[in-house]
């Protein structure tokens, strides 16, 4: 069972924890043991199943519209969220956090993207102040913050500041090379023929290098030779001897030699050797040195789904397991060997290509188009379930080429392997799928798991700090004593956002002073006001915390090299951005209405007074006494008080109601009575007991100004007022149309680099979808990129090139 780590949680946190349990239960529904070749259960199986239930994994993928931008451009993206085990769309998190990180791993831009049914879309407006360089887009959910940030989605993009001189290109540095060795199964065993994978990469770029070398023993004898097969990766076999050390020598292009020691040779241990030589079975040979007749256990799991489970007794330190490929799930399977003591001692990865793919087809009415010509594309998909797709159409030039990765390569490979994979899309091409050795070398050199067996086998339940945002955005805060800054438990606080519609929340601090608010349907940039009832509490300090992750990973980011040969395309980019802003700036800032309930949180009031319908008084007391029937004004001592009618019971409440001004609580009635009524547009009255979260109010009065900005009303100085960016509002992608002769002959230049962006294409089974757009005034070759996901988890990706010549289309 999930364990949310909060001491004596307030009711709100308890409620969200229960909702979390329900979402996780729904998320893992249908995930069971695919195959168990042995009827005997192993502790590891039970532990893995419990871990999966407590730590449901989310995977995010972003389709980013293009790889290279100029400052001033918009960066558009579509977000896909899938179940980490089944790869089906996952509708658990309703918010995804997207960040653009600079070269120092600091957030340059941030956005909160609303999600619905496992998808969402957003954008970044790139300012003109950015420095030229490579940046990283990363994305994650609140729930994903409980796990290693290496699980966050990450993709590199390039941004060029065309307003400044390009950075001087540094003199070429001497290339550094890295040589790594990965014994199959994890260890080199003395006297045991061992298969050793290796990877040779160039230090700055991280790309694989095709260099050959040899392995020598400590006496200088050559025992093996090696050369890469693909992307600097390969393998060789040799039998290490007990007590000896081995060194590899790599011949570098400049004639020098790189030496690298191989891993230590062990006298005792275990290893796995996988053979994929038959059509129906994978054979996994277990070798043990030191314990020849031990009983071992082989567990295979694909993204925490158990697909193979079998015990056996080693005979003379050896046994070969035969695993049916039909029992294996698609993707990466981890085979883990456990010894008699139940300890994991060896591991091997195996990849099974997805049996079903979302086969996409893009059909264009013609292969070549004129300037300002209409392009109509017909999309078809092979899926038996509905599919969600996204499409980008951008110009190919020396700055940006075809992407080397896509949704299938990320979902099936990159998200489950360690390190950066060079050209991940290759493994899903026709050539790559036929290249079994390249894929197996990748499995040997990039092994990784989203958990550690030590953590899975631990008796302690998984503890998670961050809740999934399965209903709306969660905002955390804290209350402390103003002087000592010690946590202040049990303090009722009120959070409001002045404006329309009225947004008002409450929360009581827990034992650590923590606060939790759920900001459902909270869009755009707004001010937040956090306070307590200062007529009762006056010595507290308030904080609101950023929901963005503060943990980062160290990833190799190659330095951007812009040679003189690219100067022409950089100049074109500068012109494109300037023309778009000059001629189409007024069309580029259109937003979609979020489609949310615009009524106040209290619903339909008992009484509503539109004050312009009445004679306007200059004193609020006159307004209240003359017009507002459901409220009686009283004075006690020198202070005003409100007594609201309890209409259902034909009685009068004796205590002050909750009083709001543009949604912000005002506990001092005298301040409301001092407000200029000419600034108030509307007054709503709830003439009954009103329940709001854990609180109940003896009626409610809501004053609303014309602009919803408090109209100069001074808040209590002890309240916290903070600007806050809510969910990103959806922005319309604008592109001019050329339907008529007048539009075609328009003198407004059209230098768009991105012709089209469509993040929400829906395909129903057996039906096609037509997408249309217009070419610009820029001739050249344009790339159509379509990718997406079906409801059953099939990934699809397709490219199409179209040519635009220099003539203007006639109509």
Whether 62 is in a domain gets the answer no
| Residue 515 in domain | no
How does DSSP assign 28-95, residue by residue? TTT---S--SSSS--HHHHHHHHHHHHS--EEEEEEES-SEEETT-EEEEEEEEEETTT--B----SE
Q: Tokens for 521?
A: 């349907």
E strand or H helix that includes residue 609: strand 607-610
Which among 692, 725, 758 is the end of a domain? 725
In degrees to the nearest 10, what's the CA dihedral of 10, 12, 17, 21? 140
Q: Could you tell me if residue 200 is inside a domain? A: yes
Domain count, the chain: 2
Instruction: Point out the residues of the chain with pLDDT beneath 70.
Output: 1-41, 169-174, 556-557, 810-811
Full 3-state SS string of 200-262 = EEECCCCCECCCCEEEEECCCCEEEEECCCECCEEEEEECCCCCCCEEEEEECCCCCEEEEEC
Contacts of 138 (CB under 8 A, 6+ apart): 98, 99, 101, 152, 153, 154, 155
- List pLDDT tens digits, range 574-594: 999 999 888 888 788 888 878
Q: What CATH number has the domain bearing residue 719? A: 2.170.130
Task: For 355-383, write each residue's pLDDT tens digit.
Answer: 999 999 999 989 899 999 999 999 999 87
Inside any domain, residue 252: yes
CA distance 134 to 127: 15
Question: In this predicted structure, what is the pLDDT of residue 170?
Answer: 66
Residue 124 within any structural domain of the chain: no
Radius of gyration of the chain (CA): 32
Residue 646 burial (CB count, 10 A):
17
Separation between Cα atoms, residue 413 and residue 229, nearest integer Å: 19
What is the predicted pLDDT for the residue at 168? 74
DSSP classification of residue 415: G
Q: In this predicted structure, what is the pLDDT of residue 57? A: 93
In a domain, 192, yes or no: yes
CB-facing half-sphere around the CA of 245: CA atoms within 13 A: 5
Alpha-carbon distance of 620 to 472, in angstroms, equals 37
The domain in which residue 686 lies consists of 607-725
Instruction: Say whether the peptide bond before residue 803 is cis (omega within 30 degrees of 0).
Output: no
**Residue where a domain stops, chosen among 725, 750, 766:** 725
User: Does 47 map to a domain?
Assistant: no
160 in any annotated domain: no
* The pLDDT value given to residue 30: 43
Query: Which pLDDT belongs to residue 29?
Result: 46
214 CB burial (10 A radius; 0-12, 13-18, 19+): middle
CB 409 within 8 A of CB 61: no
End residue of a domain, out of 311, 326, 352:
352
Dihedral of alpha carbons 613, 617, 618, 621, sign: negative
Residue 335 is part of a domain; what is its CATH number?
2.60.40.1930
């Amino acid at each position: 069972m999930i364990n949310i780590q909060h001491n004596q949680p307030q009711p709100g946190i308890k409620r969200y924890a229960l909702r979390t349990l329900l979402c996780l239960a729904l998320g893992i529904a249908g995930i069971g043991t695919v195959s168990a070749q042995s009827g005997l259960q192993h502790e590891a199986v039970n532990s893995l199943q419990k871990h999966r239930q407590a730590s449901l994994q989310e995977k995010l993928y972003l389709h980013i519209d293009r790889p290279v931008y100029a400052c001033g451009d918009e960066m558009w993206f579509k977000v896909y969220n899938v179940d980490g085990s089944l790869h089906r769309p996952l509708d658990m998190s309703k918010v995804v956090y997207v960040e653009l990180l600079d070269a120092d791993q600091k957030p340059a831009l941030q956005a909160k993207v609303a999600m619905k049914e496992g998808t969402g879309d957003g954008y970044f407006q790139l300012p003109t102040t950015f420095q030229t360089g490579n940046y990283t887009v990363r994305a994650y959910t609140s729930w994903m913050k409980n796990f290693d940030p290496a699980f966050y989605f990450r993709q590199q993009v390039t941004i060029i500041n065309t307003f400044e001189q390009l950075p001087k290109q540094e003199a070429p540095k001497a290339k550094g090379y890295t040589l790594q060795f990965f014994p199959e199964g994890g260890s080199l065993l003395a006297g045991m023929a061992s298969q050793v994978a290796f990877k040779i990469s160039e230090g700055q770029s991280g790309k694989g290098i095709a260099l050959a070398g040899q392995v020598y023993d400590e006496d200088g004898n050559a025992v093996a030779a090696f050369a890469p097969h693909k992307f600097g990766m390969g393998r060789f076999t040799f039998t290490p001897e007990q007590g000896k050390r081995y060194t590899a020598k790599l011949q570098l292009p400049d004639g020098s030699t790189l030496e690298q020691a191989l891993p230590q040779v062990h006298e005792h241990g275990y290893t796995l050797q996988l053979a994929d030589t038959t059509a129906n079975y994978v054979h996994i040979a277990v070798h043990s040195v030191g314990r020849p007749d031990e009983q071992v256990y082989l567990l295979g799991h694909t993204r925490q789904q158990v697909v193979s489970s079998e015990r056996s007794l080693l005979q003379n330190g050896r046994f070969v397991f035969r695993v049916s490929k039909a029992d294996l799930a698609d993707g990466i399977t981890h085979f883990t060997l456990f010894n008699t003591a139940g300890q994991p001692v060896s591991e091997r990865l195996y990849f099974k290509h997805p049996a079903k793919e979302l086969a996409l087809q893009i059909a264009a009415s013609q292969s070549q188009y004129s300037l300002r010509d209409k392009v109509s594309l017909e999309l078809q998909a092979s899926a038996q379930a509905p599919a969600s797709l996204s499409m980008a159409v951008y110009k190919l030039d020396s700055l940006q080429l075809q992407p080397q990765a896509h949704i299938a390569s990320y979902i099936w490979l990159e998200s489950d392997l360690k390190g950066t994979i060079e050209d991940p899309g290759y493994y899903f091409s026709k050539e790559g799928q036929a290249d079994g050795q390249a894929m197996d070398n990748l499995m040997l050199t990039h092994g990784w798991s989203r958990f550690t067996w030590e953590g899975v086998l631990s008796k302690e339940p998984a503890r998670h700090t961050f809740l999934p945002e399965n209903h709306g955005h969660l905002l955390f805060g804290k209350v402390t004593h103003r002087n000592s800054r010690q946590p202040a438990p049990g303090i009722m606080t009120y959070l409001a956002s002045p404006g329309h519609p009225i947004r008002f929340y409450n929360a009581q601090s827990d034992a650590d002073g923590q606060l939790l608010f759920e900001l459902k349907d909270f869009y755009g940039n707004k001010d937040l006001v956090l306070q307590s009832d200062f007529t009762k509490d006056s010595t507290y300090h308030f904080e609101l915390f950023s929901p963005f992750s503060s943990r980062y990973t160290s990833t190799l980011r190659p330095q951007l090299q812009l040679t003189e040969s690219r100067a022409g395309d950089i100049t074109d980019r500068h012109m494109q951005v300037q023309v778009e802003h000059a001629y189409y700036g007024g069309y580029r800032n259109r937003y979609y209405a979020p489609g949310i309930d615009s009524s106040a949180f209290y619903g339909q009031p008992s009484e509503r007074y539109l004050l312009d319908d009445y004679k306007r008084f200059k004193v609020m007391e006159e307004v209240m006494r003359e017009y507002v029937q459901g409220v009686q004004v009283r004075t006690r001592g020198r202070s005003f008080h409100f007594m609201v009618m309890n209409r259902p019971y034909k009685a009068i409440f004796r205590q002050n109601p909750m009083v709001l001004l543009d949604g912000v609580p005002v506990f001092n009635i005298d301040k409301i009575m001092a407000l200029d009524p000419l600034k108030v547009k509307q007054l709503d009255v709830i003439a009954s007991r009103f329940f709001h979260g854990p609180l109940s109010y003896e009626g409610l009065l809501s004053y609303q100004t014309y602009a919803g900005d408090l109209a100069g009303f001074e808040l209590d100085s002890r309240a916290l007022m903070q600007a806050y960016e809510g969910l990103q509002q959806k922005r319309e992608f604008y592109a001019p149309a050329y339907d008529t002769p007048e539009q075609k002959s328009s003198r407004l230049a059209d230098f768009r680099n991105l012709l089209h962006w469509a993040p929400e294409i829906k395909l129903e089974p057996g039906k096609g979808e037509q997408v249309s757009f217009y070419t610009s005034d820029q001739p050249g070759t344009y790339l159509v990129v379509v990718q997406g996901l079906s409801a059953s988890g099939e990934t699809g990706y397709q490219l199409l090139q179209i040519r635009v010549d220099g003539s203007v289309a006639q109509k």
